[in-house]
Amino acid sequence: APGLLALDPLVERMRGAGVATELVVEGRARPLPSGLDLCAYRIVQESLTNVLKHADPGRVEIHIGYGPATLTLRVSNDGAAVQAEDGPSGGHGLIGMTERVRLYQGSITAGPLPAGGFEVLATFPLPVPGADDRPP
């Protein structure tokens, strides 16, 4: 199953579609529980799909933050929203992302940015390394 350590092909696809895309990783990338890793990957993937479908971006930034007890995903673009030729998409991308995030006790916000563009921000609690090694 794909995970956050396999984002390079998604980034390259965005670049191939003509969108300047930057991947920024803060903190030390580390293995995540497989379900959470897949969930995080899908959040980034759906966010990028939404950029292609619903925005006219010049630039996209994917920011992944590995904190001691949290994982933060931020996907933002600088483009104006565009209306599809056939009307609203009727898709369930944001709803699906919200449901995925809730499965892992995370939080998510998505919306327009004050200076233009759009941002998806998801935060997940992480198991503390070595926490299972402590005596009860």
Q: What is the mean pLDDT of residues 119-133?
A: 79
User: Sign of torsion, CA 61 26 113 95?
Assistant: positive
Class of the 1-71 domain? alpha beta
Instruction: Quick: pLDDT tens for 87-119.
Output: 445 556 889 899 999 999 999 999 999 988 999
**What does the domain layout of the chain look like in residue ranges?**
1-71
pTM for the full predicted model: 0.87
Q: Average pLDDT, whole number, for the chain?
A: 88
Q: Is residue 38 pLDDT above 90, yes or no?
A: yes
Residue 54 · residue 89 · CB < 8 Å: yes
Instruction: Quick: pLDDT tens for 2-12.
Output: 999 999 999 99
